[in-house]
Each structure stands twice: as C-alpha cells, then as structure tokens.
Amino acid sequence: MTAKILDGKSIAQRIKDGLKAEIEVLKKEGSPLKLAAVQVGESEASGVYTRAQKKNCEKLGIDYELTILDEGLGQKEIIEHIQKLNQDDSVTGIILQLPLPQGISAVEVQSKIDVGKDVEGVNPANLGWITYGKPRLIPCTVAAVMELIKAAGVDLYGKEAVMVGHSDIVGKPVALLLLNKFATTSVCHIATGERGNLAEYVRKAELLIVAVGKANLVKGEWIKEGAIVIDVGINRVEGKILGDVEFEEAKERAGWITPVPGGVGPVTTAMLLRNTVMAARKEEKENG
C-alpha cells in the first residue's frame, strides 16, 4: 500500500479561501478585526514568525499590530500590556510570542489574555473547555491535527488512536479531543520510550499522531497497514527538515500520511487565521 498524502498546503488554502467571506461580513458590519502580537525582546526566530503572521493577515485583510516590549521588562509590566490590549475594543485577537525572557512564566502571562481574544488557545480556561467537551479557541496546532484527521474522512468512534508526546499545548489537548470523539486513545511519552514500549503502541494505532521533536523516532515498519499518520514534528537535520516519523518507509504502509514539511505546518498557520476570525465574530461554536 502507498499512502495518500494529506496535503497541508491545499487544505490550508481551502480554509483561507473559506475565511474570506466571513471577513467580508465583518468589514461590512464595521466590526473590528485586528490581531495584536506581543514580543518581548528581539530575536531572529520571533522575527521570522511575526513577519509571516503579518503577511498572512494582510493577505486576508486582517489588521496586524506587533509590539516589541523591552527585554528588561518584568512579568508585571508584560501583563499590564496584555491587559491594555484586553481592554482595547479595536483588538480582537492577541498572540504572545514565545520564548519569553528567563524568569517570566509563559503560563502566568497567557492566563491573563482575555479568553475571547486568546487566538492561540493557550489561556488555561480555553484549554479547560476541551476537558469539558466544549472546545472554543484551541491551540492552532491542535486544531490543525483535527482538521487533517477530518480531511482523511475517518470516523473516530471506537478507533485505536495513539498520541505520541504529551506536551501541554499539543499532545494533551489532542488526546482529550480524540477522547471527546470516543476514539480509544493511548498517550505515549518519554517513559513509554524508556521502557521500550513505543513500538508496541504504534503497531496497534489506526490513527497515529506524533508530536515529539526527534527526527525519525517512529520507524516505518511499526506503522499499521492502512493507518492515518499525522506527523507534527519539525526537526532540522543537516540542512533538511524532517518529521518524527520515517516518512518514506511509513508511506508504504499507511493509508494516509502528512509530509514534513507541507503537512501540519501550513494548516497550523491557517488555524491561527481561523481562530482570529472566530474571536472577532465572538463565536462560541464548537471547534476541533
């Protein structure tokens, strides 16, 4: 079997095209639509992200405003800036660039972002809504994973799903969303790997999602025939970008697979735009 490719670029384009009509409605109503990005200190990596955010927003007609705060500011001052944005009616979405300088707690600052403007879905309240089966604004990568699963056309009810990686903003929320849809969900992490049990879990997965950050951690020969494989990992190895799954080998066994690059990444970008529009529309519709 050779897997069908879940082409993130074309899925992302379809999502962005779909947003245009919603944005037009907001503009006609005279409703504000602005994404405010907050960066603390200058960094090469943040610059790459914020330039891409600006370009993507401008293409769709979303206002974008970046504030670069002084690196020497303390947590209190950063929170004060966030609170100013919370109160500004012209700002409909807020994104906090990571990493923050040492000594500043990202979770503490994220918890102060207005729940309705939290377009990255990182406020603990928005993450908590996932537990209660009422996802609203959810982390963009998590939304991308769910969108790619949807594109594969799988009914999750009773499916054997395995999530490799249990980070707070990818692995854990994805696992909860799968549970909400009644997939029989296993979560693997460092201890699974250390006990040598990772292959055993992967082998039974009808749906496999990997978000670890270790190139080729999951061997192609472990993949169940016909499985859906979503590879979130991004690893730079000798000038190349690789995922967490051995792509060429896995492709020969899987039913559907995401490439790296060109899979989860572009859909994540589209999900930030979708969350931004959702926030501006003050929608409480189910997400994920």
Residue numbers at the binding site for ligand NAP (CB under 6 A):
141, 164-167, 170-171, 188-190, 192-193, 198, 211-214, 217, 232-235, 264-265, 268
Measured from the CB of residue 52, what is the shortest distance to ligand NAP in angstroms?
12
Helix (H, G, I), strand (E, B) or coil at 4: strand
CB neighbours of residue 225 within 10 Å: 10
Which lies closer to ligand NAP via its Cβ, residue 76 or residue 236?
236
Which lies closer to ligand NAP via its Cβ, residue 64 or residue 201?
201
Measured from the CB of residue 267, what is the shortest distance to ligand NAP in angstroms?
8
Q: What is d(CA 270, CA 14) in angstroms, rounded to the nearest whole number?
A: 9
Which lies closer to ligand NAP via its Cβ, residue 3 or residue 211?
211
CB neighbours of residue 66 within 10 Å: 17
DSSP secondary structure of 80-128? HHHHHHHH-TT--EEEE-SPPPTT--HHHHHTTS-GGGBTT--SHHHHH
Residue 239 in tokens: 């000038």
Which lies closer to ligand NAP via its Cβ, residue 193 or residue 259?
193
Measured from the CB of residue 62, what is the shortest distance to ligand NAP in angstroms?
19
Which lies closer to ligand NAP via its Cβ, residue 214 or residue 281?
214
Measured from the CB of residue 260, what is the shortest distance to ligand NAP in angstroms?
8
Measured from the CB of residue 193, what is the shortest distance to ligand NAP in angstroms?
3
Closest CA to 154 of 208, 215, 104: 208
Residue 20 in tokens: 């245009």
Residue 107 in tokens: 């979770």
Measured from the CB of residue 143, what is the shortest distance to ligand NAP in angstroms?
11
CA distances to 74, 144, 231, 285 from 151, in Å: 43, 10, 15, 20
Q: What is d(CA 262, CA 4) in angstroms, rounded to the nearest whole number?
A: 14
Which lies closer to ligand NAP via its Cβ, residue 91 or residue 218?
218
Measured from the CB of residue 166, what is the shortest distance to ligand NAP in angstroms?
4
CA distances to 55, 111, 156, 274 from 168, in Å: 28, 14, 22, 21
Which lies closer to ligand NAP via its Cβ, residue 10 or residue 167?
167
